[in-house]
Amino acid sequence: MGNRISRHKKSKSSTSQSSLSNTARLPTKRENKSSLSSFNDRPSITRGESEREKLVEVLQTSRVIDGRVFQMANERYLIPCDDQEKNRLQMQHDLMKEIWKGNFSSPIHEKLKKGGIRVLDTGCGTGTWTLDMANKYPVSTFLGVDIIEMFPTNMRPPNAGFLQYNILNGLPFPNETFDFVYQRFLWAAFTQKQWIQLIDDFRRVTKTDGWIELMEFDVEIYNPGPIAKKLSDAVQKHLTSNGINPKIRSRIPKIMANTNNLESIQTLETITPLGNWRQTPQGIKALKDIAATLKSLQVALKAVLGVDNYEYKEMLEQFIIEGSKYRMYIKTFRFLARKQEYFD
């Protein structure tokens, strides 16, 4: 494991363990130990030891269902963490960057270019966004945090680091640490109560005049064909039965406003066709991405739909055909907010 960092001293406003206990189970011993693999300062351990350690860690923290690997640390989050999922996240990153014409919408490009600013990417997954940003802005510093280690533990630019940590345990950073806090596609991970706590924690660790940007999907297929409708309803049913509000995106601006410490709150929205009906290169990629997301959700959705693997595969094939036939599309959103000075 990498260097340990001590748990942060919680500020009055940070998320406390006891306040989470209604919605999240207690963290395991392992989750409480946050492992920081950052800025190329991992201690030297021999390759054999490190591989053994890694294997024990994988066995203790993951399970295999239908040939897909799932993490067990956030039990609500039922999307796999295997190579197939890593490829999907990479493809999705490229697609979102193309659709949105950039990695972020907050007005911080000049500051990032000038350098010396700190950026946090929570639920960073494979760390693709963190790495892309770190390469583009070599004189600013980037930290990606995820509950599982899908991010690279070596081969990263010197201004990028990663931390394995459950962000529901309260961000392990002092108040006003980051100039920019970014998070993308955590719609399947948190209850509404947890979103409220997290957004307040993002606010806490953001510096005055710094920006928070959350990018989300509203878990909706527009103009769905009959199979797409069944799949989309099943995703919503699955999330709801796990205590997750699939429509959280419509609540985010209000949750931001309710912190009483964020201003310039904006919602940006983009529409992306699924399939080739608008004859854009993104349409085919987006259809592939949503089909891959539905494939990642197969274990959960099969149970909701009462179908077997073969029937589910057939549904996905139909879903792909329906894209252009019904002129289906999706929406993605960016929520921006600036931290203002705090007056009690």
Ligand X SMILES: C[S@@+](CC[C@H](N)C(=O)[O-])C[C@H]1O[C@@H](n2cnc3c(N)ncnc32)[C@H](O)[C@@H]1O
Site residues, ligand X (CB under 6 A) = 74, 77, 89, 93, 123-125, 128-129, 146-148, 150, 166-168, 184-186, 189
- How large is the angle between the packed helices 309-325 and 226-241, nearest 10 degrees? 120
Give the residue with the Cβ less far from ligand X, 213 or 322. 213
Q: How far apart are the first and last CA of the chain?
A: 41
The nearest distance, CB 328 to ligand X, in angstroms, is 21
Phi, psi of 202 (to 5 degrees): -60, -45
Give the residue with the Cβ less far from ligand X, 117 or 148. 148
DSSP β-ladder status, 118-122 and 178-184: parallel
Q: Measure the CA–CA gap between 28 and 267, rounded to whole angstroms.
A: 36
Give the residue with the Cβ less far from ligand X, 77 or 180. 77
Give the residue with the Cβ less far from ligand X, 124 or 255. 124
The nearest distance, CB 80 to ligand X, in angstroms, is 10
Nearest to 276 by CA among 318, 221, 317, 322: 322
Give the residue with the Cβ less far from ligand X, 82 or 176. 82
Give the residue with the Cβ less far from ligand X, 170 or 323. 170
The nearest distance, CB 76 to ligand X, in angstroms, is 8
The nearest distance, CB 252 to ligand X, in angstroms, is 15
Nearest to 85 by CA among 136, 120, 130, 128: 128
Q: Measure the CA–CA gap between 252 and 215, rounded to whole angstroms.
A: 10
Q: Confirm if 249 and 188 have CB atoms less than 8 A apart.
A: no
The nearest distance, CB 146 to ligand X, in angstroms, is 4
The nearest distance, CB 53 to ligand X, in angstroms, is 20
Q: Confirm if 151 and 130 have CB atoms less than 8 A apart.
A: yes
Which residue of the chain is nearest ligand X when measured via CB? 125
Distances (CA, A) of 324 to 222, 231, 310: 12, 17, 23
The nearest distance, CB 169 to ligand X, in angstroms, is 8
Give the residue with the Cβ less far from ligand X, 77 or 104. 77
Tokens describing residue 120: 């946090």
The nearest distance, CB 342 to ligand X, in angstroms, is 26
Give the residue with the Cβ less far from ligand X, 144 or 225. 144
Give me the helices (H) in the chain, please: 17-20, 29-32, 47-61, 83-99, 109-114, 128-136, 192-205, 226-241, 252-258, 281-296, 298-305, 309-325
